Amino acid sequence: MGSSSAAPWKQLLLSSIQANSHLKHYSYFQLATVASNGRPSNRTVVFRGFQDDGDKILINTDNRSRKIDELKHCPFAEICWYFTESWEQFRINGSVDVIDGTNPDPVKLEQREKSWFACSPKSRLQYMAPTPRLPSLSELPSEIPSMDPSIGPVAAFCLLILDPAQIDYLNLKSNERLIFTSGLSSDGKKLWTSEKVNP
């Protein structure tokens, strides 16, 4: 069992992303949350990078989606990310910070705006669509709204930041499994331990 302050699983993940980057689906993973009735809720989302080169994972979402209520009820979630080319699975669980336009922290609002402008204009337009999961009132496709590309995030745009606490890494080619767990050092910094376990 080894320990490290830098996230040792992150280099593994970056290598997997690189090895699979020629595949269209390499940047998609599943995000599971817990609904207020205690049942699991799962969906596919897009990896938007790491926050400030640290180990926190960025995800963009619609503030009107069901996952927001679920995360407000229970702030814990798990990512399941499978790379088909290298046969590697990463299960990353941790707590999620929900950052919408009402957040009182100016640093978090700045991160939300940064994530907004990192999106393509087409991706930004999704947040101006009708409310997700409500009955569709028209058979015809709705008119595509126009947007000034210099305007900041719309109200529906929400940034999720997952702070990893445990990573379960499985490599099916080498039949290797590692568990990375975070704790705190004596000076309050995040410290990672890793343990090789049976697959």
Residue 138: pLDDT band (50, 70, 90) is low
Which of 40-54, 99-113, 134-148, 166-180 has the least mean pLDDT? Answer: 134-148
Report the C-alpha gap between 37 and 31 in whole angstroms: 18
Per-residue model confidence (pLDDT) at position 1: 57
Q: How far is CA 105 from CA 23, 98, 102, 110, 116, in A?
A: 37, 12, 9, 9, 17
For residues 140-145, give the mean pLDDT. 60
The token pair that represents 92 in the structure block: 């990353």
As a whole number, the mean pLDDT across the chain is 92
Which one is predicted more confidently, 139 or 88?
88
- At residue 56, the 3 state secondary structure works out as coil
Per-residue model confidence (pLDDT) at position 149: 78
Per-residue model confidence (pLDDT) at position 137: 72
Report the C-alpha gap between 24 and 144 in whole angstroms: 26
Q: Is the pLDDT of residue 130 over 90?
A: no
Per-residue model confidence (pLDDT) at position 133: 74
Per-residue model confidence (pLDDT) at position 135: 80
Per-residue model confidence (pLDDT) at position 53: 86
| pLDDT cut 90: percent of the chain above it | 80
Give, in words, the CATH class of 2-131+150-197.
mainly beta
> 58 and 49 in contact (C-beta within 8 Å)?
yes
Report the C-alpha gap between 46 and 29 in whole angstroms: 6
Which one is predicted more confidently, 145 or 85?
85
97's CB contacts (< 8 A; 6+ apart) are 75, 108, 160, 161, 163
